[in-house]
């Protein structure tokens, strides 16, 4: 039996549909406008950041290169930059390590939002990136002090057992505290209340640690065997970029929940949750549709 709607109802539905479509178009235009403005801001930010970095690196020997050949200059630039880094590391260890931490946090968050997700390099949330840079600034001195403390109570040169104990401390006490503080900082800086942030920590910390244990103990075997103590922060942060790239390649998803996650490691954990949630929603939608259809048929009858 065909069900005919009242003409007035059809007109109302048509009006609502047209209005909704117009609103959607207006919203899309607004999003495009915001996106264009954001891209301009992002271009300026990247231009200033990379421009300053390139200028600083290339001008390390400013005033000294007169008479040098191009090959001499290209050979000396990396060596002299590394020498300047080691000099600053010796004279200003906390400042230098903190600066490295900030750079890696900024770079890591930007790449996590763009290149690691195979997205346009300009399509990133600059506020989120700056928040991560600020967290890196706060973490820098603390991480320095932790490694100093770790080396004081567990000198890595004292044998294999001591190195294993350092790795154990890293992957339990240090990892849980740092990740908990990081998740809290991300949430609070994003405007979440303390209770929500606390619940997020409780929900996520276990999965993060399980994920980290699949990779970082191997890395720290190198950290405490090969890498000099003064370069460990640089080493760990550099490896962290590679780790994020690996995780991101496994966490490709078009679901908005994953795109809004502040940590690539969390995308791995949320992937299964999103798939399950989507399946549950589909079942609920089918049940709801069936119930509506049965009700409609009974009403018409």
SS3 letters across 123-175: CCCHHHHHHHHHHHHHHHHHHHHHHHHHHHHCCHHHCHHHHHHHHHHHHHHHH
Report, as an integer, the average pLDDT of 269-282.
Answer: 41
Q: Contacts by 26-35 with C-beta closer than 8 Å and gap 24+?
A: 35/123
Whether 31 is covered by a domain: the verdict is: no
Helices 216-223 and 160-169 pack at an angle, to 10 degrees, of 130
| Structure tokens given for 108 | 């890591």
Mean pLDDT is lowest, of 62-71, 108-117, 139-148, 153-162, for 62-71
Whether 198 is covered by a domain: the verdict is: yes
Structural domains of the chain, count: 1
Whether 53 is covered by a domain: the verdict is: no
Q: What pLDDT score was predicted for residue 60?
A: 84
Across the chain, which distance is largest between two alpha carbons, in Å? 98
CA dist., res. 240 & res. 204, Å (int): 19
Q: Is the pLDDT of residue 278 over 70?
A: no
pLDDT bucket at 58, cuts 50 / 70 / 90: confident
Report, as an integer, the average pLDDT of 101-111.
Answer: 90
Task: Please check whether residue 77 is in contact with residue 61, taking contact to mean a CB–CB distance below 8 angstroms.
Answer: yes
CA dist., res. 184 & res. 113, Å (int): 20
Report the Cα 147 to chain-centroid distance in Å: 23
Whether 290 is covered by a domain: the verdict is: yes
Q: What pLDDT score was predicted for residue 106?
A: 92
Q: Specify the DSSP element, H or E, that contains 212.
A: helix 194-212
Q: Quick one: DSSP state of residue 122?
A: T
Find, among 77, 86, 189, the residue nearest to 130 by Cα: 189
Whether 111 is covered by a domain: the verdict is: yes
6-52 confidence digits (pLDDT tens): 444 444 434 444 444 455 544 444 444 457 888 899 999 999 999 99
163-206 confidence digits (pLDDT tens): 999 999 999 999 999 989 999 998 999 899 999 999 999 998 88
Region of 191 please: left (phi>0), alpha (psi -120 to 50) or beta.
left
Q: Of residues 106 and 291, which shows the higher confidence score? A: 106
Whether 263 is covered by a domain: the verdict is: yes
Q: What pLDDT score was predicted for residue 247?
A: 62
CA dist., res. 238 & res. 106, Å (int): 12
Q: 79: buried, middle or exposed (CB in 10 Å: 19+, 13-18, 0-12)?
A: exposed
Whether 235 is covered by a domain: the verdict is: yes
Whether 124 is covered by a domain: the verdict is: yes
pLDDT bucket at 74, cuts 50 / 70 / 90: confident
Domain that holds residue 147: 71-294
Phi then psi for residue 40, to 5 deg, are: -65, -45
Q: What pLDDT score was predicted for residue 51?
A: 94
Q: What percent of the chain has pLDDT over 70?
A: 69
pTM score of the predicted model:
0.68
Q: What pLDDT score was predicted for residue 248?
A: 59
223-256 confidence digits (pLDDT tens): 998 999 889 988 998 898 887 766 655 554 434 4
Residue 166 makes CB contacts below 8 A (sequence gap 6+) with 150, 154, 156, 220, 224
């Amino acid at each position: 039996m065909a069900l005919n709607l009242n003409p007035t109802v059809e007109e109302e539905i048509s009006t609502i549909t047209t209005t909704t479509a117009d609103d959607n178009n207006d919203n899309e235009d607004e999003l495009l406008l915001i996106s264009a403005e954001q891209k301009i801001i992002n271009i300026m930010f990247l231009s200033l950041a990379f421009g300053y970095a390139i200028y600083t690196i290339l001008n390390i020997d400013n005033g000294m290169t007169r008479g040098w050949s191009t090959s001499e200059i290209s050979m000396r630039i990396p060596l002299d930059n590394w020498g300047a880094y080691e000099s600053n590391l010796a004279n200003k260890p906390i400042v230098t390590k903190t600066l490295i931490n900030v750079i890696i946090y900024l770079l890591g968050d930007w790449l996590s939002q763009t290149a690691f997700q195979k997205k346009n390099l300009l399509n990133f949330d600059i506020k989120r990136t700056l928040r991560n840079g600020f967290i890196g600034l706060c973490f820098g001195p603390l991480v320095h002090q932790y490694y100093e403390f770790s080396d004081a109570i567990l000198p890595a040169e004292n044998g294999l057992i001591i190195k294993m104990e350092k790795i154990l401390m890293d992957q339990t006490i240090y990892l849980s505290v740092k990740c908990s503080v990081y998740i809290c900082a991300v949430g609070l800086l994003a405007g979440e209340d303390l209770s929500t942030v606390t619940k997020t920590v409780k929900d996520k910390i276990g999965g993060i640690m399980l994920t980290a244990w699949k990779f970082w103990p191997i890395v720290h075997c190198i950290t405490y065997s090969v890498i000099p103590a003064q370069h460990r922060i640089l080493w760990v942060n550099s490896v962290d970029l590679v780790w994020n790239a690996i995780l991101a390649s496994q966490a490709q998803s078009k679901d908005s929940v994953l795109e809004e996650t502040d940590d690539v490691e969390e995308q791995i954990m949320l992937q299964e949750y999103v798939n399950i949630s989507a399946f549950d929603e589909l079942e609920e939608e089918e049940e709801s549709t069936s119930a509506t259809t049965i009700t409609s048929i009974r009403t018409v009858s």
